Chains A and B, each alone.
Chain A
């Protein structure tokens, strides 16, 4: 009724294979992107700095892990470390070449992460599933050890931390203490939209199909001529690239500085939860998962006192914190029971219902 393909005819295969073949989808996407850019004009720096920027950064990392785990079926617990590689590589690049545009530094730092990812992806030819997860755990611990023990990575800084130096784009500071949340948000948003577009192109083409073929039935994939090692390593490379860029964005456009501890195993699990709850093998699910895990607790923290205060129930900040964990935990379990395939599947079902409404099927 509200959302249907009736009357939209495709006359070429290229049009039929568009990523958003339905007009409603394209309009919806355009509205979302415009709204996202319009958030800048709210001037609400809490919203931009503490909600939207981290949400986008985590979404990007979740997309990275989703390409590996959701699309290629390779379970990885090294996400945090690969993000760290991106962050440290970006720091080394921008301090070694201060004149180099920071955007180029951020995008190039992902390449270092990709290279490291390929290295730790090599065992994936022989081992799968949980065993591979343990092998990537080695990456997590080894790389984190490097961040602590190799002072060259932090330019022999005594504090052992990396700090975002002041960098400008067209004369406007976008990285460093003087950059406003608005400009940083615009940079992150643009990069995330661009990289998501690229990821969506990859997964809808030959390479994405090869990844999914390896995920669903690797023997049959090999039989139709897909080279397993090459395909898996490409997945590791692209996935780590996305994680690396997300790590660089996290330090340079959100935290402003970071220690090794930011990229610990908890970070890996955090991203993995986003991917699982959002939906394995779905790009939009990556955003939904990041929203559920990151934004929902913030909203709960603000909404709970507001709801309870009219009833005369005073609630302390500590209690809010506890309740928040409990509610988010319960919701995660609820969503996993209702739809084990994640929020993306719920979204699909919702779209289907809208399409046939008011009829049941």
Chain B
């Protein structure tokens, strides 16, 4: 799927660094001393068996969970606690494993909502609507229409997203995240429950987003074929610990990873 084999990954600057992050819920240790980094412009996959702590990791990165120990540095800014809305303002967007769209709203409104942070006309102008507020809306509508074109969802523009099939909902959710023009895009199982064709479409969108918009992407995915083809580097978690980190080829050969996925003979 990659246009060329063995891509040369330049040593780019680090966008996000996770340092010794541990997360515990009471006695349950979701993450233990995990460290890795995400470089600007790369596609970084986080894989691991069920319950390895992948989603917990994403939740720490965008502020839903606060790590019990360790820190996360984003764009050179070190932090331990952050609200999700602050993460959004910092430029982190996210999709969910089980689609988290605004079900009562149309596709258009869902993606428009993704532009909320970029809209600044205050309450007074919103009350009047006509004039500056509508002008602002129209400007953002243009951006949203570009995203709709990009994702090829023109035909469902006005459909309430609750009525859409699952594959399209995933696409709308990606659109909403893209509308935020994020620097770091976190995708939690973007291809779960999709058929081969939908997976290929989604892979193409992810690659296009990465290459055309230069968005850094961190994704969790269970389909190993997809992970190996898409990602520049892979981090593998098992029982909340990092067991491997490197290029897909390196990770594929790693004994611990093979053991984690296939089991070991006792």
Contact residues of A with B, CB < 8 Å? 12-14, 16-17, 19, 198, 201-202, 204-207, 209-210, 212-213, 215-217, 219-228, 234, 281
Residue in contact with B142 in the complex, picked from A13, A19, A219, A225, CB distance below 8 Å:
A13
Q: Are A219 and B100 in contact (CB under 8 A)?
A: yes
Q: Are B133 and A205 in contact (CB under 8 A)?
A: yes
Residue in contact with B102 in the complex, picked from A19, A206, A220, A234, CB distance below 8 Å:
A220
Which of B4-12, B112-120, B191-199 lines the interface with chain A?
Answer: B112-120
Q: Are B129 and A204 in contact (CB under 8 A)?
A: yes
Residue in contact with A202 in the complex, picked from B117, B126, B141, B177, CB distance below 8 Å:
B126
Residue in contact with B104 in the complex, picked from A13, A207, A212, A221, CB distance below 8 Å:
A212
Residue in contact with A206 in the complex, picked from B85, B100, B104, B121, CB distance below 8 Å:
B121
The interface size bin for chain B is 35 or more
Bound CA–CA A217/B93 (angstroms): 16
Between A and B, 24 residue pairs with Cβ closer than 8 Å are: A13-B142, A14-B137, A201-B126, A201-B127, A201-B130, A202-B129, A205-B126, A206-B116, A206-B126, A212-B102, A212-B104, A212-B109, A216-B102, A219-B64, A219-B84, A220-B96, A221-B102, A223-B62, A223-B85, A224-B116, A224-B117, A224-B176, A224-B177, A225-B116
Task: Tell yes or no: B21 within 8 A of A by CB.
Answer: no
Q: Which residues from chain A contact B96 at a C-beta distance below 8 Å?
A: 220
With both beta carbons as reference points, the residue of chain B lying nearest to A206 in the complex is identified as: B119
Task: Tell yes or no: B89 within 8 A of A by CB.
Answer: yes
Q: Are A207 and B123 in contact (CB under 8 A)?
A: yes
Bound CA–CA A297/B259 (angstroms): 74
- Shortest CB-to-CB span from B124 to chain A, Å, is 11
Given A14-B134, A217-B100: A225 in contact with B126 (beta carbons within 8 A): no
Overall SS of chain B's interface: helix
B15-37 interface (Cβ within 8 A of A):
none
Given A17-B134, A17-B137: A220 in contact with B112 (beta carbons within 8 A): no
Bound CA–CA A222/B87 (angstroms): 10
Task: Tell yes or no: B88 within 8 A of A by CB.
Answer: yes
Task: Tell yes or no: B135 within 8 A of A by CB.
Answer: yes
With both beta carbons as reference points, the residue of chain A lying nearest to B139 in the complex is identified as: A13
Bound CA–CA A17/B62 (angstroms): 33
Bound CA–CA A247/B157 (angstroms): 40
Task: Tell yes or no: B105 within 8 A of A by CB.
Answer: yes
- Shortest CB-to-CB span from B218 to chain A, Å, is 15
Task: Tell yes or no: B101 within 8 A of A by CB.
Answer: yes
Q: Are A225 and B85 in contact (CB under 8 A)?
A: yes
Q: A206-B126, A212-B104 are in contact. List 10 more A-B contacts (CB 8 A).
A: A17-B138, A202-B127, A205-B133, A205-B137, A206-B116, A213-B102, A221-B113, A223-B94, A223-B100, A224-B177
- Output the residue of A209, A212, A219, A234 with the most chain B CB within 10 A: A209
Q: Which residues from chain A contact B119 at a C-beta distance below 8 Å?
A: 206
Bound CA–CA A225/B62 (angstroms): 11
Bound CA–CA A201/B64 (angstroms): 33
Q: Which residues from chain A contact B113 at a C-beta distance below 8 Å?
A: 209-210, 212-213, 221, 224, 226
Q: Which residues from chain B contact A223 at a C-beta distance below 8 Å?
A: 62, 84-85, 87-88, 93-94, 100
Q: Are B83 and A222 in contact (CB under 8 A)?
A: yes
Q: Are A225 and B180 in contact (CB under 8 A)?
A: yes
Q: Are B129 and A201 in contact (CB under 8 A)?
A: yes
- Shortest CB-to-CB span from B52 to chain A, Å, is 22
Q: Are B85 and A226 in contact (CB under 8 A)?
A: yes
Task: Tell yes or no: B75 within 8 A of A by CB.
Answer: no
Q: Are B88 and A224 in contact (CB under 8 A)?
A: yes
- Shortest CB-to-CB span from A108 to chain B, Å, is 16
With both beta carbons as reference points, the residue of chain B lying nearest to A199 in the complex is identified as: B127
Q: Are B129 and A209 in contact (CB under 8 A)?
A: no
Bound CA–CA A206/B118 (angstroms): 10
Task: Tell yes or no: B262 within 8 A of A by CB.
Answer: no
Q: Are B88 and A216 in contact (CB under 8 A)?
A: no
Top 3 A-B pairs, shortest CB-CB distance: A225-B88, A201-B129, A216-B102
- Output the residue of B100, B113, B133, B180 with the most chain A CB within 10 A: B113
Task: Tell yes or no: B265 within 8 A of A by CB.
Answer: no
With both beta carbons as reference points, the residue of chain A lying nearest to B87 in the complex is identified as: A223
Q: Are B138 and A217 in contact (CB under 8 A)?
A: no
- Output the residue of A198, A201, A206 with the most chain B CB within 10 A: A206
Q: Are A220 and B127 in contact (CB under 8 A)?
A: no
Q: Are B101 and A220 in contact (CB under 8 A)?
A: yes
Task: Tell yes or no: B79 within 8 A of A by CB.
Answer: no
Q: Are A217 and B129 in contact (CB under 8 A)?
A: no
Bound CA–CA A12/B138 (angstroms): 8
- Shortest CB-to-CB span from A356 to chain B, Å, is 15
Task: Tell yes or no: B264 within 8 A of A by CB.
Answer: no
Q: Are B127 and A17 in contact (CB under 8 A)?
A: no
Bound CA–CA A55/B130 (angstroms): 29
- Shortest CB-to-CB span from A307 to chain B, Å, is 41
Bound CA–CA A180/B114 (angstroms): 51
With both beta carbons as reference points, the residue of chain B lying nearest to A280 in the complex is identified as: B104
B44-78 interface (Cβ within 8 A of A):
62, 64
B133-151 interface (Cβ within 8 A of A):
133-135, 137-138, 141-142, 145
With both beta carbons as reference points, the residue of chain B lying nearest to A12 in the complex is identified as: B138
Residue in contact with B180 in the complex, picked from A17, A201, A224, CB distance below 8 Å:
A224
Q: Are B104 and A215 in contact (CB under 8 A)?
A: yes
Bound CA–CA A216/B141 (angstroms): 21
With both beta carbons as reference points, the residue of chain B lying nearest to A15 in the complex is identified as: B138
